[in-house]
Amino acid sequence: YAGRCRWFGWRGHEQPESNVTLAFTATVLGSPRIGPRRELKKAVESYWAGNLDASALESVGRDLRRRTWTELVDAGIDSVPVNTFSFYDQMLDTAVMLGALPERVSGIDSELDRYFAAARGTTTIAPLEMTKWFDTNYHYLVPEITPASRFTLNAAKVLGEVEEALALGVPARPVVIGPVTFLLLSKSDDRAPLDHLDDVVPLYAELLGLLADTGVKWVQIDEPALVADRTAAELEATRSVYDRLAALNHRPAILVASYFGDLGDALTALVETGVEGIAVDLVAGSLDHVVATPGIEGKHIAAGVIDGRNVWRSDLDGSLTALETLRDRAGSVAVSTSCSLLHVPYTLDGENGLDPALRSWLAFGSEKIREVATLATAVRSGHAAIGDQLAQSRAAAETRASDPRLHDNAIRARLAALTDSERSRTPAPDRRTAQDSELSLPKLPTTTIGSYPQTTAIRVARAALRKGEIGQAEYVRRMRAEIADVVALQEDLGLDVLVHGEPERNDMVQYFAEQFDGFFATANGWVQSYGSRCVRPPILYGDVRRPKPMTIEWISYAQSLTDKPVKAILTGPVTILAWSFVRDDQSLAESADQIALAIRDETADLETSGVRVIQVDEPALRELLPLRAADQSAYLDWAVGAFRLATSGVADTTAIHTHLCYSEFGDVIGAIAGLDADVTSIEAARSHMEVLDDLNAVGFDLGVGPGVYDIHSPRVPSVDEIAGSLRAALGAVPAERLWVNPDCGLKTRRRAEVESSLRNMVDAAHLVRAEH
């Protein structure tokens, strides 16, 4: 690294004259950390299992950080985010930095174990709650603030990583989550979250002094909470925080980073403070708004033109136009990503199975880093300096636009011809009569959400098929054995509506994406979802078609084994989109309708094969809800419309179920009624059935199965406990509409737990049934 040290020789302590001499030209807002081959996942899981010691884990982390920084520096990034590494989560890291871990972990001696206890819990300690990071698929841990919280600065992690980076000659820009976002995203059991600003801002001030001592020129303070709707008081508080921090005389230059949307009025508030720089998301946010904001001529703007959330290659011409417009207005401009690269896979290298055309349209993390550097070169030295790259970018855009797979005329004609009648069914009461006589179920019918435990046998069979050790026929034989087993179990338990158990599904989205035309799967496109958990989202690139039925064989096999109705399980259009990388050349609404049509065709085939109950899961309905209230009703309209398109093609006698989970449903409760599903099973065990009152408040009068026990815990609920939940539910819902089911699918549970829990659930249903 000797050469690099000289290269970045400005790491002295000379006082720069103005922002402009300080300003960097090319950066990213953050980096993935799970490891190009999921090294960190493997290491932390080995540590948890007791097979790796703390120092070995630390050294895996150090090695990953070095590789991340080296790649950035080598590509020409001249300000490198540091402290975006984490053993679990950046919000948890911030809680540690501010001394805000919950009291209940304080008895654990080792700092690392205390950290993991807060993240995952122990046999005796409950973990922090986890929830979605804005509208992404990343989940963060929700810090808890109580009257007992005593904030103190613990800067060891950030200072350590800064020292490590500086020692390697990296032009480090430490990144921390800002006080406004930290508090707004925390759970506060006493005052309004921002009432704690006076407790934490002095700690940030202290931190800035310590960072200045290290010699770093910039600090990045992330405030993504500012892209959601904020009250005038919150904006005022934000302004005052950054006035206070900017007024410190011993500190690095401050870059306040926003991402996932437009800053709106918060931009003016920030511009009026003394911070040197602001990072703006120009993919999800608006360039016009930034350009029109008075005062940006005094700021260094990190222009997020490269999409950190999606996988498409950038249109370099468009990005350059934006950058040049901004350069004419802002004090200075750096090319940046719209958000951290945490949300995209590491690299296209090694994706050898990808269709070459598709590959040329894509950019994962490494490719995006090079795009940033390329654009910075053009901003500095003119377009001619990147002539080759411009030509390649244009060529890729042209082949993409003209690829026939992106425009299937038959599908488009079908969609264009749709009328409202394809999105509506006979009124619900008439359907209920038809379904009652078709299915003749008892009162308080019992069912499950779809999946049964993913056994070792299932995993072994799937791996063997992938490696070619067994053929398709043997794989089918083994899956059928699993189905037969699960059907027999359900018969034995006395459940009323059975399922096949979903053994053949690796993942509820991937399973369908693999069978649709218009999706591609990656070999190694892993993205961190939370902690050590990674997902490999499929890429939606073209018009969606269902070449053949996807579920019929499995479901009809299950149905052949029993006289009870077997409920088929499909995944809904919104959830498929939410857990995929999506097209950026058409609206989500259009993509959703295409998927909905394919699912509708599947429901028709299921019906023909004799299936009388079909569940279309939409657990991610809440996930894609836009951050700003003004955008939410348009979203809910198309999301509900797509669900109805998918489910309105069946006869009145066919019962449509849906399943929702993972959220407080507050903002989407009206939409749930709009789905018009005959039965909705919904996560409720942890919220004490409150969701039923919320549903009543919006006039919901369809079937509902509030989860009667929490499947996220290995604990087996007693008959009394479940009966108690059912009686509570009957306070809100008449017996004719109430279904009995667990909270969610059972695939993560062990077989013995499932059997005991369901036995108690069925017993409780019988008990309460007898009372009605």
List binding-site positions for Zn(2+).
Answer: 659, 661, 683, 744
Q: Which is nearer to Zn ion, 363 or 449 (CB)?
A: 449
- Which CB atom, from 619 or from 674, has the smaller least distance to ligand GLN? 619
Contact 522, 539 (CB under 8 A): yes
**Of 710, 731, 624, 706, residue with least CA distance to 667:** 624
Instruction: Report the 3 state secondary structure along 166-187.
Output: HHCCCCEEEEEECHHHHHHCCE
- Binding partner at 450 among Zn ion, ligand GLN, none, C-beta below 5 to 8 Å by kind: ligand GLN
Query: Should residue 744 be labelled a site residue for Zn ion when binding is judged by CB under 5 A?
Result: yes
Nearer to Zn ion, 386 or 498 (CB): 498
Select the binding partner of residue 747 from Zn ion, ligand GLN, none (C-beta < 5 to 8 A, by kind).
ligand GLN
Q: If contact means CB under 5 to 8 A according to the sort of partner, which of Zn ion, ligand GLN, none does residue 508 touch?
A: ligand GLN
Given Zn ion, ligand GLN, none, residue 504, with its beta carbon under 5 to 8 Å by kind, binds none
Which of 277, 285, 450, 742: binder of ligand GLN (CB under 6 A)? 450
Distance CA(96)–CA(685), nearest Å, equals 31
**Residue 551 token pair:** 């579920």
Q: To the nearest whole angstrom, how small is the minimum distance from the Cβ of residue 458 to Zn ion?
A: 19
Q: Which is nearer to Zn ion, 212 or 744 (CB)?
A: 744
Per CB under 6 A, which region of 46-54, 195-203, 437-445, 743-751 contacts ligand GLN?
743-751
Residue ranges for the known binding site are: 38-41, 132, 137, 449-451, 502, 533-534, 579, 617, 623, 659, 661, 683, 744
Quick check: 744 binds ligand GLN (CB under 6 A)? Answer: yes
Separation CA 729–CA 705 (nearest Å): 9
Q: Does 656 engage in binding with ligand GLN (CB under 6 A)? A: no
Q: Does residue 569 interact with ligand GLN by CB under 6 A?
A: yes
Query: Taking CB under 6 A as the rule, does residue 449 contact ligand GLN?
Result: yes
Q: Token digits for 162?
A: 């800064």
305 binds, among Zn ion, ligand GLN, none (CB under 5 to 8 A by kind): none
Answer yes or no: are the C-beta atoms of 151 and 59 closer than 8 Å.
no
Instruction: Respond yes or no: is residue 139 known to be catalytic.
Output: no
Q: Are strands 332-337 and 80-82 parallel, antiparallel or unpaired?
A: unpaired
Give the residue closest to ligand GLN by C-beta.
745
* 322 versus 740: smaller Cβ distance to Zn ion: 740
Minimum distance between the CB of residue 575 and ligand GLN, rounded to whole angstroms? 8
In the three-class reduction of DSSP (H, G, I as helix; E, B as strand; rest coil), residue 541 is classed as strand
Could you say whether residue 489 binds Zn ion (CB under 5 A)? no
Of 87, 96, 78, the C-alpha closest to 60 is 87
The residue among 101 and 569 lying less far from ligand GLN, judged by its C-beta, is 569
Least distance in angstroms from the C-beta of 111 to ligand GLN: 34
Contact 266, 285 (CB under 8 A): no
Pick the stretch among 90-98, 182-190, 600-608, 741-749 that binds Zn ion (CB under 5 A): 741-749
Alpha carbon of residue 8 to chain centroid: 36
Backbone angles phi, psi at 626, to 5 degrees: -60, 150
Which residue out of 343, 712, 766, 772 is catalytically annotated? Answer: 712
By CB under 6 A, residue 659 contacts ligand GLN: yes
| DSSP designation for 99 | T
* Residues of this chain, 609-638, that bind Zn ion according to CB under 5 A: 619
Residue 747 touching ligand GLN (CB under 6 A) = yes
- Out of 661, 684, 711, 733, which residue is the one contacting Zn ion (CB under 5 A)? 661
Distance CA 345, CA 43 (A): 19
Q: Which two tokens stand for residue 139?
A: 């989940």
Size of the site for ligand GLN (CB under 6 A): 12
Q: At its nearest, how many Å lie between ligand GLN and the CB of residue 557?
A: 18
619 binds ligand GLN (CB under 6 A): yes
Residues 275-314 as x/- pattern, contact with ligand GLN by CB under 6 A = ----------------------------------------
- Rounded to whole angstroms, how far apart are CA atoms 723 and 717? 10
Least CB distance to ligand GLN at residue 621 (A) = 11
Indicate the residue among 171 and 619 with the shorter CB distance to Zn ion: 619
CA-CA-CA-CA dihedral for 275, 277, 283, 286, to nearest 10? 60
Entry field: residues in the chain = 772
Residue 177 interacting partner from ligand GLN, Zn ion, none (CB closer than 5 to 8 Å by kind): none
- Binding site listing for L-homocysteine: 449-451, 502, 617
Q: Characterize the bridge pairing of strands 218-222 and 172-177.
A: parallel
Q: How far is CA 530 from CA 86, 510, 533, 534, 569, in A?
A: 11, 18, 5, 7, 26
278 versus 508: smaller Cβ distance to ligand GLN: 508
Q: Provide the 8-state DSSP code for 405.
A: G
For residue 432, the surrounding DSSP H or E stretch is helix 428-439
Buried b (16+ CB within 10 A) or exposed e, 334-368: bbbbbbbbbbbbbbbeebeebeeebebbbbbbbbb
Least Cβ distance, residue 342 to ligand GLN (angstroms): 22
Among 81, 277, 703, 745, binds ligand GLN (CB under 6 A): 745
Q: CB 569 → ligand GLN: shortest distance, Å?
A: 5
Stretch that binds ligand GLN, among 122-130, 248-256, 547-555, 741-749 (CB under 6 A): 741-749
Contact set for ligand GLN, span 475-534 (CB under 6 A): 508
- The burial class, CB within 10 Å (0-12 / 13-18 / 19+), for 147 is exposed
| Closer residue to ligand GLN, CB minimum distance, 296 or 661 | 661
**Residue window 122-161: x/- pattern of binding to ligand GLN, with contact defined by CB under 6 A:** ----------------------------------------
In whole angstroms, the minimum distance from the beta carbon of 449 to Zn ion comes to 6
Minimal distance in Å, beta carbon 501 to ligand GLN? 9
Phi/psi of residue 321, nearest 5 degrees: -60, -45
Give strand pairing partners of 79: 27
The stretch near Zn ion (CB under 5 A) out of 269-277, 587-595, 728-736, 742-750 is 742-750
Q: Which is nearer to ligand GLN, 280 or 499 (CB)?
A: 499
Distance separating alpha carbons of residues 105 and 121, to the nearest angstrom: 9
∠ CA 428-433-437, nearest 5°, is 140
Alpha-carbon distance of 544 to 546, in angstroms, equals 7
Produce one character per residue of 607-645: b if its CB has 16 or more CB atoms within 10 Å, e if not.
Answer: beeebbbbbbbbbbbbbbbbbeeeeeeebbebbbbbbbb
Distance CA 510, CA 496 (A): 29
State the number of CA atoms in the 13 A half-sphere of 46 facing the CB.
15
Cβ neighbours of 59 (radius 10 Å): 13
Provide the minimum distance between the beta carbon of 681 and ligand GLN in the complex, in angstroms, as a whole number.
9
CA atoms of 724 and 502, how far apart (whole Å): 30
Q: Rounded to the nearest whole angstrom, what is the least distance from the CB of residue 451 to ligand GLN in the complex?
A: 3
Cβ nearer to Zn ion, comparing 726 with 744? 744
What is the C-alpha to C-alpha distance for residues 201 and 557, in angstroms, rounded to an integer?
A: 62
CA 679, CA 82: separation in Å to the nearest integer?
49
Q: Report which secondary-structure segment, H or E, holds 419.
A: none
Q: Give catalytic residue positions.
A: 712
**Contact residues: ligand GLN, CB under 6 A:** 449-451, 508, 569, 617, 619, 659, 661, 744-745, 747
**Contact residues: Zn ion, CB under 5 A:** 619, 661, 744
